């Protein structure tokens, strides 16, 4: 399955008093990976919203293996794990670019909903684009 990679340099604002990345920032990087993957498949999130489609997170997890630190360049690898009738699951891996050390992995599950917050089936044309 398609893997989208993007790199980001850890900023000072990303770290805690101990100089390591604060745990919640990994979820921000997951979001960036997810939105970039969607953009790469021809489905920018803003265009989905114009079609009355929204993808709220309904479940999220992260497993931390090693710490990213200030000024590290990290690689966020994002994949689509599963496309259901009205949901999608993304997986993530975060690695340090310098040495390839595996830092964290995670998963998010998203429901497809409309503006009225009703769960809806994924439109066929969207499903086709997601199956890259």
The label of the residue with tokens 């497809």 reads 112
To the nearest 5 percent, what fractions of the chain are helix, strand and coil? Answer: 25, 40, 35
Which residues of the chain, if any, have pLDDT below 50? none
Q: What is the CA radius of gyration of the chain?
A: 16
Q: Write the pLDDT tens digit of every residue in 67-102.
A: 999 999 999 999 999 999 999 999 999 999 999 999
Q: How far does CA 110 lie from the centroid of its chain?
A: 11
pTM of structure: 0.94
Integer Cα distance of 95 and 105 in angstroms: 9
**pLDDT for position 61:** 98
3-130 homologous superfamily: Hotdog Thioesterase (3.10.129.10)
Active-site positions? Answer: 16
The pLDDT value given to residue 35: 97
SS3 30: helix
Classified as helix, coil or strand, 120 is coil
Q: Evaluate the CA torsion angle 65, 95, 99, 8 in order and state its sign.
A: negative
Report d(CA 37, CA 41) in Å as an integer. 6
SS3 call for 40: helix
């Amino acid at each position: 399955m398609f893997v989208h990679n993007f790199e980001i340099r850890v900023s000072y604002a990303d770290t805690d008093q101990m100089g390591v990345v604060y745990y919640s920032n990994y979820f921000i990087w997951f979001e960036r990976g997810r939105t970039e993957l969607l953009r790469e498949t021809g489905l920018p999130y803003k265009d989905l919203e114009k079609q009355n489609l929204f993808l709220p997170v309904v479940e999220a997890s992260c497993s931390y293996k090693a710490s990213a630190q200030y000024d590290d360049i990290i690689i966020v690898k994002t994949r689509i794990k599963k496309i259901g009738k009205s949901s999608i699951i993304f997986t993530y891996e975060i690695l340090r670019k310098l040495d390839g050390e595996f830092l964290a992995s995670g998963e998010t599950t998203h429901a497809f909903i409309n503006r009225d917050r009703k769960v809806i089936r994924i439109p066929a044309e969207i499903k086709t684009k997601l199956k890259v």
